[in-house]
Structures are given as C-alpha cells and as structure tokens.
Copies of this chain bind each other. A is one copy, B any other.
Amino acid sequence: MSASVKHKQDNAALLFLAALSLALLTVLTVWKLKQFKYRLINETGAAMFYGMLLGLTARWLWFEAHAENVESVCTCHGLNSTPRVLTVNTTTHEHCYRRVGKISQRCSLISAPHAETFDPEVLFNLFLPPIIFHGAYTLNQRRFIENLGSVLTYAFLGTIISCMCIGACMYGFTRLMVLLGQAADGEFFLTDCLLFGAIMSATDPVSVLGLLSDLRVDLDLHTLLFGESVLNDAVAIVLTHAITTYDQTGAVFDPAAFLRSAGLFLGVLVGSILIGFIFTVITALLTKFTRLHENPLLETSVFFLLSWSSFLSAQAGGLSGIVAVLFCGLSQARYTVLNLSSEGRTRTKQLFEVFNFLGEIFIFGYMGYVLLTFPHHVFKAVFISGAFLSIFISRACNIYPLSFLLNLGRTNKIPCAFQHFMTLAGLRGAVAFSVAFSLAARDDSTEARRAILTTTLLLVAFTIWVLGSASDPVLRRLDIRVGVDADENPQDLSLEVATGRPDTTRGLWHRLDYKYLKPLLTHCGPPLTDSLPPCCGVVARLFSSPHVQEEQLFETEPEECTFDLEKTENQFKSAGGDCGSENQEDLVEGDLVEGDLGLGTVPAHIREA
C-alpha cells in the first residue's frame, strides 16, 4: 500500500476518531453533570460545545499548516467562490498540490475534516430517522390523538404566522442596515428575509425531544411541543421551496403560484403520511405472516431497515422524510409491535434508543464544528440582533393567539403557564441548520444566504444553551409538573373530556382501527371475515390471522384494555399471542427509559414540583 493511500485511510480513521471522542466526552460530561444534579445542560448543548472545541482545534491546525500555502490554493481552483459541497475542495486541492509539487502531509490531514466524510446529507440521512422514529415510537399515542387538533393548528397555522412575522421583522432590520450603511441596497431582498423566516419558523424535534425527555414535563405539554416540532418540518420545507421558487421567478404575488404552493403542501403532507403508513403495513404483514419472530436478530433488522426506509423513500420522492418516519413510528408502535417476539420488541427499542442518543450527539457536535470551521461566515450585527428579537416576537404571535382560539374549543384548556413555556421552548436545531447549510454552501450562494447560515447557527446555539438551560427554572417558576412518568391514571384520559369532540369521531377512528386495521395487520381484534362485507370474503380469509382472538375485553373498551397488563397478558399467552398489553407496557417502559435517556437519575417523586 503506498504512503498516500495509507495516509488517506489514516485520515478517514482520524475523522471518525474525532467524532467518537466528541461523543465519548459528551456522554461522560453529561453523565457527570447529572450526577451532581446539575440539570441545565443536556446532551445536545454539550455535544455542540465539544463540536466547537473540535472545530477550533481543526481551525487552528489548518491555519498553522496553510499559513503560506493558502494563496496558491486560491488561484489554483478558485476557492473564492463558495463551493456547493465541501466535498469538492480537498480532492481538487490534492490535485493542485500534486501539480505544484507541494504535497504537505499535514495539510491534507487537516483539510480532511472539511471534506470527505463530514457531509451533512450523510449525517442527516443516518441519524435523523432514528431520532424521530424513536420519539414517535415511544410517544404516548393516546395523548397525541387527543391533542391532534391543537398540534396541527400550531404546526401549520403557527408556522406560517411565524414565518411571516420573522420575514417582516427581518425586512425591517435589513432596511435599518441599509440606513446605517451596513449593507448595500440590493443585498437583502424581501425573499431573503422570508426565506430566513421559513428556515427559523420550524422548531426542531431533536432539540425539543432532548429537552422534554430530560425534564419529563406534563404529558400534554410534551405532546403539544413534540407534535408541533415534528409536523412543522413539512410546513417549513414547503415554505422554503415556495420562497426560493418565487425568488427565481421574481413575481411579487401570484395567486396561481400561491394555490400551487398550498396544493404542494397538502401533497407533501399526505404523501409523507402515506409513505410512513405503507412501510408500516409492509412491516406488519411481513412480521404477521412469516415466522421471522423465531429469529429476533432478523426480526429487528427487518423492522429497523423498513422503518428507516420510510424516511429515505419520502426524501427520495421529494416529500418530508421526517413526517413519514413520524407516522411510521406511530403506526409501528400501534400495530407491528404486536407481531414482534418479546425479545424483538426489547431489541428494536434499545437499538433505536442507542441510535437516537448517539445521533443527537453527532448532529449537534457537527453543528458546533461547522459554526467554527465554515470558511465563509458573514457576521452582520444588526441582522443577528434583529433575528434574536424576531424569533421571540414570532413565537409569541404564534402561541398566544392560537392558544386563545384553541381554548375556545377545548374542554381541557391549555393553561397560561403552558403557553408561556411553549413560547420559550421553541428551540431551533438540526433541520434549520440543514436547510440553511444547503443554501449557503452552494456555488451561487449570495452574501445574504451566508449571513443567514451564520445567524441560524448562532440562533441554534443560543436557543439550545440559553433557552434550554432556562427551561428547568422556568418550569418550576410556572408551577408546571416535571418528572412525570407515563403510568398516569387512565380515568382522566377519556377522549371526550380532553378534546371536547363528540363520540362520533372516536367511533369512526375506533371502527377503522379496531375493526379493520388491527385484524389486518396483527393477530388481534375481531376476525376480518366478520368486519368486512361478505363480498370481500377472499381478501378477508387471505389476511386473516391463523390464530385470531375475539376477546370480550377488546370488544367493550379497546383503548382501556391496554392498561390491564396482567389480565390480558395471561388471557392471550394461552392463545399464542400477547396483543395489546405488551404494546402499552412497551410504551410505558419506553417513556420511562426515554426519561432515563435524558440521563435523569433523580426519582420522579423527588422532582415533583
């Protein structure tokens, strides 16, 4: 093996090693902090901090190695234009060096971090799906369905309000910059401001989940915040797409384009949900009709690969992978889990847990790293301070009016304390960074887009460190329950009480879920031959479980049954299946472990506010 090949291998190894050290340091730091009951910083904040340290080191070494070489590089391949992907540069540099006969071992070693491996696409495709999936898989489904209306309102209407608000504020600030002489007149367009609004309007599921699982807040609040943060991704993606399209056409307001955007938005949403659900159906049927459960390793692999594929299929099809994997996680937890062997259940949960934990660390570490190593940062003081102000204003304009409207219809009102906390807890993170980075790292990116990336990174760091740290004291101050476990009282969970919706909706959902989906996808529920009309007899027999159970328990109160752990378990064990019970047990356990994920070692009753 020649020295240069060996050297390239060493570089790749060095990169991975740096990432692993970062993860290791984060794990140990956070664990140590938690041991001393210091609960203000969670793993995302710590990972970002270590990422910055790593970036600082790389920068220092890079500058030292390149102090005199940098000129020749620039003239060689035109470094002045921002490369679309950082991947390009190093390799061309190496060519470059080889041609001018200046191969510096040190150089290529240090230039590597900018290039080959740390591609954000790879990072996001690798780590985002397990994070979102794990969040959905361990989410309290009951609460989610109860709060679905409110979640959708915040996610869709709220995000659009936020985007407009931030866009308007930022446009004001860019005008101010022009007045102060800090920017040229044509540097920031209204579309740039709206683009920034679209990027910053969506709260980040990864950081919000990190915060919530750490604090174990009230379950309704958890559901509202997490649900919003996951679903507004779709809105933000469509808004960004619509704005960049406007930008290219140059039109001011075009009703047809607006309608197209609205249609596109609906298409993205429905398409993503469908893809997520299709993958659940595949997994469920595969685990129902094959004997995969005899081999937990294969079962876990299939479950894992198919769940991941839902994200990737949606992304590849131009839809929202995050929404797809969210619905995949929700439906896998409702149906497929019932077909898995008990070892398979534990394995899938633990596997996603580890991926989720390490993924969070890698993604936030990478953001910290980019903050200090991206070569084309544009710091605009007025723009940045305007952005800080506008995210608070936009968040307030989103939460308070919508909560007021929602409370008109809700029996179980959203208290003021929740509203204050939701305003505060609008953390930004990986998704915003990913979009801003894609726009800023392109060849034809403008000064404005690079300023947007810089500001986005600073805002992410600020919301995670400052707002994240402030959450715990604020929660105490607002008298919101923390340290909540999922073993809540089933009595206060009646759907009608919580949402004020009449029983018909429930009946519809119940019929679909209990009469058709459960028998189709699992071994539970009434036989399909009973539910389906006689004309569908062949289909019904084809998809009927070989050992379907018709239990009185499920007939009367399908949602309640899941709490009667021992009773149902004993009943079904004898019949060859253990439906429902283990599922909920899994979810409950999942919530608990998710709490532990945040490294909280304090027992729940001590932390009760």
Contact = CB atoms under 8 A, between A and B. Distances in A.
Contact of A241 (B1, B98, B315): B1
Contact of A438 (B8, B27, B308, B312): B8
A26 to B, nearest CB: 9
Interface in A24-65: 24, 27-28, 31, 35
A35 B308 CA distance: 26
Contacts of A240: 1
Nearest to A236: B1
A393 interface: no
A358 B303 CA distance: 13
Contact of A301 (B9, B27, B301, B351): B27
Nearest to A240: B1
Interface in A589-609: 593, 596-597, 599, 601
Copies of this chain, count: 2
Given A13-B314, A27-B301, A27-B305, 16 more contacts: A1-B237, A1-B244, A1-B435, A9-B315, A9-B438, A12-B125, A12-B315, A16-B312, A17-B312, A23-B305, A24-B306, A24-B309, A35-B291, A294-B601, A295-B596, A297-B596
Q: Which of A1, A8, A298, A442 counts the most B-chain CB atoms under 10 A from its CB? A: A1
Interface stretch (A116-124, A202-210, A384-392, A510-518): A116-124
Contact of A2 (B10, B20, B439): B439
Contacts of A6: 241, 318
Given A87-B87, A316-B17, A301 B601 contact: no
A321 interface: yes
Interface string A285-326: 000001110110110111011101101111111100100000
Contacts of A175: none
A442 to B, nearest CB: 7
B5 A354 contact: no
B354 A10 contact: no
From DSSP, what is the main secondary structure of chain A's interface residues? helix
Contacts of A313: 13, 17
A349 to B, nearest CB: 11
Q: Which of A121, A294, A439 counts the most B-chain CB atoms under 10 A from its CB? A: A121
A2 B318 CA distance: 12
B316 A1 contact: no
Contacts of A12: 119, 121-122, 125, 315
A168 interface: no
A304 B438 contact: no
A85 interface: yes
Contacts of A116: 85, 87, 119, 121-122
A2 B95 CA distance: 30
A509 B137 CA distance: 49
Interface string A75-115: 00000000011011001101100100000000000000000
Contact of A315 (B10, B23, B94, B357): B10
Nearest to A22: B305
A98 B83 CA distance: 13
A318 B10 contact: yes
Interface in A554-609: 593, 596-597, 599, 601
Contact of A295 (B316, B435, B442, B601): B601
